[in-house]
Amino acid sequence: GKKKSIVDFMRMKKEGEPVTWVTAYDFPMASFAQQAGIDMILVGDSLGMVVLGYKGTNPVTMEDCISHCQAVRRGAPNTWIVGDMPFMSYQISDADAVANAGRFIKEADVDCVKLEGGQRVASRIKAITDAGILVIGHIGLTPQSSGQLGGFLAQGRDVKNARALIKDALAVQEAGAYAILVEAVPPEVTGFMQKKLEIPVYSIGAGPADGQLIICGDMLGMFQAFTPKFVKKYANVAEIEINAFKDYADDVRTGRFPADEHVYHILEPIEEFEKM
Ligand code: KIV
Ligand code: NA
């Protein structure tokens, strides 16, 4: 299909057509997502956990993100790609934030960047937007500051916290973000934001919204460390891969692989080199 743009995403919000959004980190996954007709791909800093094996997202570097975004762009040339700004790529200053957001655009050809936080990153969002770069905000459960939240916990479950989140969402819109992602928040709060905001409100673990995001490692059954409540599993790729490796090892050990159909036989009589 044709690559979508913010014009499509605004129309989809207006018409109540949910955007489909998954994470992907490498060429094959991106290619499969595009072939499935997925609307957007997030190259999340969750790559630290899903593909690099870290316990959290904070060790992920700009270089990791750029390299994975490049692979994803090669795999999905006609899909909207969101580059996720890693820990410490935007926390220090507006100038840093603009420079690093610019690297995603220049070096990895992504369509926009995403960063975590509400009011406290409003000046970052404005600075990046003023540089002509599209930004998606991200509030609720924000993994890069999960220490301050007391862990990977749902947010906005009491009225005081919900009000603070709604103020954050409005600040993100006011700062110039073209969309916002809400993570692990009650659907009542997400639904209110969806009506209150002009920009699309996307959800991961936050109920129905203008679009849904899911982490490929979770939905495909590749990430084994833990599975959040909000994940629906659509496949068990870990099991498929483990069984394939076992079958291969078994074949090699028993001499069933390689078989005659897997070899290139010599095309001439072998006496020639047997004389050597
Ligand atoms: O990195 C990521 O995949 C994300 C989602 C969990 C929202 O930011
Ligand atoms: Na992230």
- The ligand minimizing its distance to the Cα of 204 is 1
For residue 183, the ligand 1 atom closest to its alpha carbon is 7
51 and 124 within one domain:
yes
Q: Using CA atoms, how far apart are residues 79 and 204, in angstroms rounded to an integer?
A: 19
For ligand 1, atom 2, which residue shows the shortest CA distance? 44
Instruction: Identify the pLDDT of residue 2.
Output: 87
186 and 133 within one domain:
yes
Q: Using CA atoms, how far apart are residues 125 and 139, in angstroms rounded to an integer?
A: 13
Q: Using CA atoms, how far apart are residues 132 and 227, in angstroms rounded to an integer?
A: 37
77 inside domain = yes
104 inside domain = yes
Instruction: Identify the pLDDT of residue 77.
Output: 98
SS3 call for 79: coil
pLDDT in tens, 105-140: 999 999 999 999 999 999 999 999 999 999 999 999
CB 79 within 8 A of CB 33: yes
Going from the C-alpha of 22 to that of each of 19, 37, 129, 202, the distances in angstroms are: 10, 11, 24, 12
Q: Which two tokens stand for residue 93?
A: 């200053």
pTM: 0.96
Task: Determine which helix (DSSP H) or strand (DSSP E) holds 180, and give its type and residue range.
Answer: strand 179-183
Q: Residue 183 catalytic?
A: yes
Instruction: Identify the pLDDT of residue 130.
Output: 98
145 and 183 within one domain:
yes
114 is in an annotated binding site: yes
250 and 133 within one domain:
no
Mean pLDDT (the chain) is 97
- The ligand minimizing its distance to the Cα of 228 is 1
Q: Using CA atoms, how far apart are residues 196 and 17, in angstroms rounded to an integer?
A: 18
231 and 108 within one domain:
yes
Instruction: Identify the pLDDT of residue 276.
Output: 81
- Say if strands 19-23 and 80-84 run parallel, antiparallel, or are unpaired: unpaired
251 and 170 within one domain:
no
For residue 213, the ligand 1 atom closest to its alpha carbon is 7
| Structural domains in the chain (count) | 2
Instruction: Identify the pLDDT of residue 271.
Output: 84
107 inside domain = yes
Closest CA to 104 of 134, 143, 75: 134
Residue 258, preceding bond cis, omega within 30 degrees?
A: yes
For ligand 1, atom 6, which residue shows the shortest CA distance? 46
200 and 78 within one domain:
yes
CB-based neighbours (< 5 A) of ligand 2, an ion = 44-45, 84
> Roughly what angle, to the nearest 10 degrees, separates helices 187-196 and 159-175?
30
Q: What are phi and psi of 60, to 5 degrees?
A: -65, 135
Here the CATH number for the domain that contains residue 232 is 3.20.20.60
- Domain span holding position 17: 6-236
Which DSSP string do the residues of 30-50 spell out, in sequence order? HHHHHHTT-SEEEE-TTHHHH
125 and 55 within one domain:
yes
For ligand 1, atom 3, which residue shows the shortest CA distance? 44
127 and 100 within one domain:
yes
1 inside domain = no
SS3 call for 129: helix
Q: Using CA atoms, how far apart are residues 211 and 190, in angstroms rounded to an integer?
A: 11
130 and 72 within one domain:
yes
What are the pocket residues of ligand 1 if the criterion is a CB atom closer than 6 Å to any ligand atom?
Answer: 23, 42, 44-46, 84, 181, 183, 204, 213, 215
109 inside domain = yes
pLDDT in tens, 211-247: 999 999 999 999 999 999 999 999 999 999 999 999 9
What does each of the 276 residues of the chain score in pLDDT, given as a tens digit? Answer: 789 999 999 999 999 999 999 999 999 999 999 999 999 999 999 999 999 999 999 999 999 999 999 999 999 999 999 999 999 999 999 999 999 999 999 999 999 999 999 999 999 999 999 999 999 999 999 999 999 999 999 999 999 999 999 999 999 999 999 999 999 999 999 999 999 999 999 999 999 999 999 999 999 999 999 999 999 999 999 999 999 999 999 999 999 999 999 999 999 888 877 888
105 and 51 within one domain:
yes
267 and 151 within one domain:
no
